Chains A and B, each alone.
Chain A
Amino acid sequence: MADDVIEAAADTQQMNMIQAINSALDVTMDRDPDVVVMGEDVGYFGGVFRATAGLQQKYGKNRVFDTPITECGIIGVAVGMGAYGLRPVPEIQFADYIYPALDQLVSEAARLRYRSAGEFISPMTVRSPFGGGIFGGQTHSQSPEGIFTHVSGVKTVIPSTPYDAKGLLIAAIEDNDPVIFFEPKRIYNGPFDGHYDSPAKSWAGHAQAQVPTGHYRIPLGKARIARAGEALTILCYGTMVHVVENTVATMGIDAEIVDLRTLVPLDIDTIETSVRKTGRCLIVHEATRTSGFGAELLAQVQERCFYHLEAPIERVTGFDTPYPHSLEWAYFPGPVRIREAISKIMKD
């Protein structure tokens, strides 16, 4: 599949991220009768976040169906459907529930092409809402992307806008390898700048909320420069892109914000070019710090840009604790901690 093909679609419509995801599913199901959607509550009801609303009514129960509450079973069944020749898009209701499916994802879906030398493949896309900021406590807030980026044979994708969510999800579904597609649920309905006590914003009027109604792909493995700048490079993805954008704007600093969009495969060229230009690098993610994806980013930047660096690379991440409920806003890597890290990097 040619990654450089982005098909233009003439008609656009304002969508929030849920609507964009729903539209991606609709478009791919319409084009390919082998695409099937499955998961807990995704059928008649349309999903607890409404991402699959209307799809069963449109495509029938053979292609959009509710499943028993067994994540192991959902992913195992999706592996078998993929071996048959279907292109399953299972939903795991919250990323926090994905752990019972780990063996089927890690030892089966991710390894099938390799161990059978291409006789069997697992072209599934696992959609799952992830991340915090919704008072979900430790079982509805986690960011387990680092578990999957550590696994050979699976791609990991995280959008930050409605436009990206649709284009990346279509690319993921059409990809012939298994893709973990984590959806930052805090920004389903509007961008979140990290100021939890401010009134919630919607996607209305946001440039990235004008979404083509038809088919288009954003290639996997290509980052987006969310803001061009010269002072420092900030690597982030998902909800944190918006928190970083707001913090940078508030500080009035000329940062270059790189929205990674795909963690594996990583767009190393964009990262390297940016850090070589700015000489400074901050990494921001919600996930816990130790062995988090930020550690890999830090190692890559150090290996490739060491002689261009003018300050130590910093990380702002979730703490190495379970996600707390009442102390959510102390845990969340918000504007205060990002501002402090930027100031520290810019001091030298």
Chain B
Amino acid sequence: MSDPHGSAGGEGQAGRNLPPLRLHVPEPPARPGEAADFTHFDIPAAGAQPRPDETAQPGEMRDMAYGLVRVLDEEGRAAGPWDPRLPAETLLRMLRYMALTRAFDARMFRAQRQGKTSFYMKSTGEEAVSIGAALALSRDDMCFPSYRQQGILITRDWSIVDMMNQIYSNKGDRMKGRQLPIMYSAREAGFFSISGNLTTQYPQAVGWAMASAAKGDTRIAATWCGEGSTAEGDFHSACTFASVYRAPVIMNVVNNQWAISSFSGFAGAEATTFAARAVGYGIAGLRVDGNDVLAVYAATRWAADRARANAGPTLIEHFTYRVEGHSTSDDPSAYRSAEESSQWPLGDPIARLKQHCIAIGIWDEERHAAMDKELAEMVRDAAREAEKNGILGHGLHHPMESMFEDVFEEMPWHLKEQQQQMLDEWKAAGL
């Protein structure tokens, strides 16, 4: 067979003394057995970042996409123009919601290991991303989360028994056992049905925000995805739509460094920041210390005020670390340095807020220990309550014929026929 385009490296190339081309395949700084290496991170001092006006033109604030908004310093002091100056009561609520999320995660992770459900995903180390944002938004703003934002539901005081029913896929699961554990849906809490397909929620959030704007509503939308899935086309479609229509939406990229076993370099982190994606789309971009709940709160509040002022969307990169495995089906010791999570240079979000609350004299170690104990008991009691509705695989699920419901508003003949056939077959088999 002849090659119409000539052979690779054809005659014209011979003798031109060009170096061979090289393919760059990214490699993380440390693998299992190696010391964690964070020397490539440039971490500015807390309080050092300027705070532009909420209605600033994106072109005037490009530096924000390459810096790092930080409020809490190493001694637990709040510093600089991004300090939201929250009242003590709000700080302690933040602390409690983060601790409750971590206690919930611990309990549900254990439930999965005990065989009570098929799957779980912890948000350890990333609690500030959800809780800081949820407190900065209005309760009726619409959230289009990814799968690691359980902190939003907890911050909106959603029933943790209801969440557990979903995780156990039992007869109390409002989703009728149809979705993988943690794929919650809670319309009343302004929490959109979670998809297992990545970043599909991005253009949906933009569409919701566009609808809100077209209707002259005052509610805004917020959405979350991981740094890995910013590579999806949906992310870029969403950014284009958000920019074109100046949609009142906050687009959060949770950069937790790892997408299962692929480090952030496979989504482009070696080349630039994720907040810098905003620059090309001409939208406001902020890069935030995602383990600093005050910084997350302040950035979200800034973006929400901007959206409400019809000044357009904001893309926020939350720079954080996924302390645990991707899910209960993942073992990170197989691909990354074991030291990374304990040596993460931005610390632990709960420990940092606790330190701050103690430093300003509104909290102490005794109260913190008592709170942790109370929350552990609370989630234990909630789990016992949820387990009364059944655990996965123990028969207390929704009836099998419910499988055919909600495919359409009204069940068409072919689904009725298949439903009846299934029931007849089971009956004939004596089951």
A interface list, Cβ under 8 A from B: 36, 62-63, 67-68, 70, 72-73, 75-86, 88, 100, 103-104, 107-108, 112-121, 152-153, 155, 175-177, 221, 264-266, 268
B237 at the interface (CB under 8 A from A): yes
- Check if A114 sits within 8 Å of B407, measured CB to CB: yes
B174 at the interface (CB under 8 A from A): yes
Residues of B within 8 Å of A100, CB to CB, are: 233
- Check if A108 sits within 8 Å of B197, measured CB to CB: yes
State the 3 A-B residue pairs at the shortest beta-carbon distance, nearest first. A80-B207, A76-B203, A73-B237
Give 5 pairs: A residue, B residue, CB < 8 Å, sorted on A: A79-B200, A79-B204, A80-B208, A80-B210, A104-B203
Cβ-defined partner of A73 (8 Å) among B176, B193, B241, B413:
B241
- Check if B408 sits within 8 Å of A83, measured CB to CB: no
Which residue of B is nearest A107, CB measured? B197
B24 at the interface (CB under 8 A from A): no
- Given the contacts A68-B237, A114-B178, A103 and B208 also touching, CB distance less than 8 Å: no
Cα-based distance from A88 to B214 in the complex (angstroms): 13
Cα-based distance from A221 to B205 in the complex (angstroms): 32
- Check if A265 sits within 8 Å of B414, measured CB to CB: yes
Question: Given contacts A100-B233, A175-B409, could you give 12 more A-B pairs where the C-beta distance is less than 8 Å?
Answer: A70-B236, A70-B240, A70-B241, A76-B207, A76-B237, A77-B210, A103-B234, A108-B197, A116-B187, A116-B193, A155-B408, A265-B412
Residues of B within 8 Å of A84, CB to CB, are: 142, 207-208, 211-212, 215
Cα-based distance from A117 to B178 in the complex (angstroms): 8
Minimum CB–CB distance from A80 to chain B (whole Å) comes to: 3
Residues of A within 8 Å of B206, CB to CB, are: 73, 76-77, 80
Cβ-defined partner of B408 (8 Å) among A36, A120, A153:
A153
- Check if B407 sits within 8 Å of A152, measured CB to CB: yes
Minimum CB–CB distance from B146 to chain A (whole Å) comes to: 14
Cα-based distance from A266 to B176 in the complex (angstroms): 27
- Check if A117 sits within 8 Å of B406, measured CB to CB: yes
B104 at the interface (CB under 8 A from A): no
B238 at the interface (CB under 8 A from A): yes
Cβ-defined partner of A221 (8 Å) among B144, B238, B412:
B412
B202 at the interface (CB under 8 A from A): yes
B175 at the interface (CB under 8 A from A): yes
B interface list, Cβ under 8 A from A: 142, 144, 174-176, 178-179, 183, 185-187, 192-193, 195, 197, 200, 202-212, 214-215, 221, 233-234, 236-238, 240-241, 244, 406-409, 412-414
Minimum CB–CB distance from B289 to chain A (whole Å) comes to: 29
A-B contact count (CB 8 A): 144
Residues of A within 8 Å of B238, CB to CB, are: 73, 76
Residues of B within 8 Å of A67, CB to CB, are: 241
Cβ-defined partner of A119 (8 Å) among B193, B202, B215:
B193
Minimum CB–CB distance from B284 to chain A (whole Å) comes to: 19
Minimum CB–CB distance from A174 to chain B (whole Å) comes to: 11
Question: By CB atoms of chain B within 10 A, which of A63, A100, A116 has the most?
Answer: A116
Which residue of B is nearest A120, CB measured? B193
Cα-based distance from A32 to B50 in the complex (angstroms): 47
Which residue of B is nearest A118, CB measured? B406
Residues of A within 8 Å of B183, CB to CB, are: 115
- Check if A72 sits within 8 Å of B407, measured CB to CB: no
- Given the contacts A62-B214, A76-B202, A77-B203, A103 and B197 also touching, CB distance less than 8 Å: yes
Minimum CB–CB distance from A38 to chain B (whole Å) comes to: 9
- Check if B203 sits within 8 Å of A72, measured CB to CB: yes
- Check if A77 sits within 8 Å of B412, measured CB to CB: no
Residues of A within 8 Å of B244, CB to CB, are: 68
Cα-based distance from A96 to B235 in the complex (angstroms): 22
- Check if B211 sits within 8 Å of A80, measured CB to CB: yes
Cα-based distance from A155 to B411 in the complex (angstroms): 12
Residues of A within 8 Å of B144, CB to CB, are: 80
- Given the contacts A76-B234, A107-B195, A83 and B175 also touching, CB distance less than 8 Å: no
Residues of B within 8 Å of A119, CB to CB, are: 174, 185-187, 193
Cα-based distance from A242 to B238 in the complex (angstroms): 42
Question: By CB atoms of chain B within 10 A, which of A79, A80, A83 has the most?
Answer: A80
Minimum CB–CB distance from B174 to chain A (whole Å) comes to: 6
- Check if B207 sits within 8 Å of A79, measured CB to CB: yes
Cα-based distance from A75 to B202 in the complex (angstroms): 12
- Check if A104 sits within 8 Å of B200, measured CB to CB: yes
Residues of A within 8 Å of B185, CB to CB, are: 115-117, 119-120
Cβ-defined partner of B211 (8 Å) among A81, A108, A155, A221:
A81
Cα-based distance from A258 to B82 in the complex (angstroms): 69
Which residue of B is nearest A122, CB measured? B204
- Check if A113 sits within 8 Å of B200, measured CB to CB: no
Question: By CB atoms of chain B within 10 A, which of A72, A85, A113, A175 has the most?
Answer: A72
Residues of A within 8 Å of B200, CB to CB, are: 76, 79, 103-104, 107-108
- Check if B211 sits within 8 Å of A86, measured CB to CB: yes
Cα-based distance from A67 to B247 in the complex (angstroms): 13
Cα-based distance from A177 to B408 in the complex (angstroms): 6
Residues of B within 8 Å of A108, CB to CB, are: 195, 197, 200, 204
Cα-based distance from A265 to B193 in the complex (angstroms): 26
Which residue of A is nearest B245, CB measured? A65
Cα-based distance from A153 to B197 in the complex (angstroms): 17
Cα-based distance from A112 to B142 in the complex (angstroms): 16
- Check if A83 sits within 8 Å of B178, measured CB to CB: no
Cα-based distance from A94 to B142 in the complex (angstroms): 33
Residues of A within 8 Å of B408, CB to CB, are: 113, 153, 155, 177, 265
Which residue of B is nearest A85, CB measured? B211
- Check if A68 sits within 8 Å of B241, measured CB to CB: yes
- Check if B193 sits within 8 Å of A266, measured CB to CB: no
Cβ-defined partner of A115 (8 Å) among B178, B186, B203:
B178
Which residue of A is nearest B197, CB measured? A107
- Check if A81 sits within 8 Å of B210, measured CB to CB: yes
Minimum CB–CB distance from B91 to chain A (whole Å) comes to: 33
